Every structure is written in structure tokens, then in C-alpha cells.
């Protein structure tokens, strides 16, 4: 799995877009970038994943740089319920041991 | 998280007792991961299982910990002779086992407290 680097914490005003960066400079060609989040005391929740194209779903957008060394998760209109720890991981799929770092603690402020 | 079940949600044990944590994967999923999370820390990989087979147990402590995923029934994480340091949240995740783009879906976790 690729090693990823994320800021420890971020704040975002409610209603604004939250942009969470992730560096994954060692990511290999067949590794996907996955994002999960963990709301306090709950099990992690899948958000989105991508390989090299930008992706969007009902929860978020994922922007991956052309060189694939970094990506940004975008929550377009953050709400208080988006307050959570967000994890970025690089993995080539289900048969790989996945390592979760400490993630980014996003605090959405009213 | 819908579909992956873990029980019990909370488990209290005294030092020296055994703890058994159960994980029922989503329907159609034949692979399970177990993770441990200490307070204010990230998830640490423990073991990755396929039905009746351990794929990777490199994250499991060498002693007292074991895991299984039988052909029928839930996956079991077993901790023998628990110590205070075993107190943590234990999460399982299931996936279909299709390889690339195989997303993990997590259960709600079991919070183990060792007195």
C-alpha cells in the first residue's frame, strides 16, 4: 500500500466546501486512492475512490492530480454531521493489507 | 456500514478471561478484515481472512490472539487471557473478494474493556 500524508486537523465553516488534501507520492500505477471517514466512535464509512480520473458521487468529489502524487477530497457543502476523521489510503484492492494512518480530523464550525 | 454486523457492541472482561468478538459480513461477501483501534489512534490491521482460510495475519500479536472465518457462521476474533492493554475498539470489515476496486464495508465495532 502507498504511504499517505494528511494534515492532522482542519476546520471548515458550515455550508462551505471542505477541501481535504492527501499526498501519496509513492503510489504505484495499479493502486487506487480510497477515502473513508470515521464519525466519533462509529465504524469507518466508505466515501469514494479513484484511480486517475476525477470522481464524484452523492457524498463527495475526488480530484487526483495528473501525476497521481496527491489528491483532494471535496465535500461541497459541509454540514455539522460531516465532522469526522477522514482517512486517505492507497491500495490495489481487496487482497492487500490496508494501513490507515491517523487521518485528518475535520471540524465543521457553525 | 449497513449489513456488516458485530456483536457484542460492548464487552467487559476481567484480566485473564477470554474475549470472543463476532463479525457477520455483508451478504455475498467472503472476505473479512479485523482492525484494532486504540483511543485517539488510527486503525491497525490485524488479520485478513477468507472463508476457511487465513490470508494475512501479520498484524496479529503472536500470542493469545486468534481468528477464524468458518464456512458457516460469523468470523470470530478470540483473545485469550486478556490484559488491560487489550482494551480497544475492534472493527471488522467485509468485502466481496473480487480484487481491484474491492471496497471494504465496516461494522460498528466492539468496544472491549478489560478491568
Q: What is the pLDDT of residues B9-28, one digit of tens each?
A: 999 999 999 999 999 999 88
**What pLDDT, on a 0 to 100 scale, did the predictor assign at position B1?**
46
| List of chain A residues whose C-beta atoms are within 8 Å of the C-beta of residue B1 | 42-43, 45
Chain mean pLDDT for chain A:
90
| List of chain A residues whose C-beta atoms are within 8 Å of the C-beta of residue B104 | 46, 94, 98
Confidence at A39, pLDDT banded by 50, 70, 90: very high
Q: Is A59 left (phi over 0), alpha (psi -120 to 50) or beta?
A: alpha
Chain mean pLDDT for chain B:
91
- The reply to whether residue A43 touches residue B109, judged by beta carbons under 8 angstroms, is yes
| List of chain A residues whose C-beta atoms are within 8 Å of the C-beta of residue B91 | 43-44
**What pLDDT, on a 0 to 100 scale, did the predictor assign at position B98?**
64
Say if residue B95's pLDDT is above 90. no
Out of A87, A95, A100, closest to residue B99 by CB? A95
Amino acid at each position: 500500500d502507498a504511504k499517505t500524508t494528511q494534515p492532522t486537523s482542519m476546520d471548515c465553516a458550515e455550508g462551505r466546501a471542505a477541501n481535504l488534501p492527501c499526498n501519496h507520492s509513492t503510489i504505484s500505477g495499479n493502486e487506487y486512492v480510497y477515502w473513508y471517514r470515521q464519525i466519533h466512535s462509529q465504524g469507518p464509512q466508505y466515501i469514494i475512490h479513484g484511480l486517475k480520473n476525477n470522481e464524484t458521487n452523492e457524498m463527495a468529489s475526488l480530484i487526483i492530480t495528473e501525476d497521481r502524487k496527491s489528491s483532494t477530497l471535496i465535500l461541497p457543502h459541509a454540514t455539522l454531521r460531516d465532522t469526522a476523521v477522514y482517512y486517505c489510503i492507497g491500495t490495489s484492492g481487496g487482497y492487500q493489507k490496508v494501513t490507515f494512518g491517523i487521518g485528518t480530523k475535520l471540524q465543521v464550525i457553525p | 456500514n449497513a449489513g456488516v454486523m458485530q456483536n457484542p457492541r460492548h464487552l467487559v472482561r476481567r484480566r485473564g478471561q477470554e474475549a470472543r468478538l463476532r463479525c457477520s459480513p455483508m451478504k455475498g461477501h467472503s472476505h473479512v478484515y479485523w482492525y484494532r483501534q486504540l483511543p485517539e489512534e488510527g486503525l491497525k490491521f490485524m488479520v485478513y481472512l477468507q472463508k476457511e482460510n487465513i490470508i494475512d495475519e501479520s498484524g496479529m500479536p503472536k500470542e493469545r490472539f486468534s481468528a477464524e472465518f468458518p464456512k458457516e457462521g460469523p468470523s470470530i476474533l478470540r483473545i485469550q487471557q486478556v490484559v488491560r492493554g487489550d482494551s480497544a475498539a475492534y472493527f471488522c470489515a467485509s468485502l466481496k473478494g473480487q480484487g481491484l476496486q474491492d471496497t471494504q464495508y465496516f461494522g460498528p465495532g466492539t468496544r472491549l474493556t478489560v478491568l
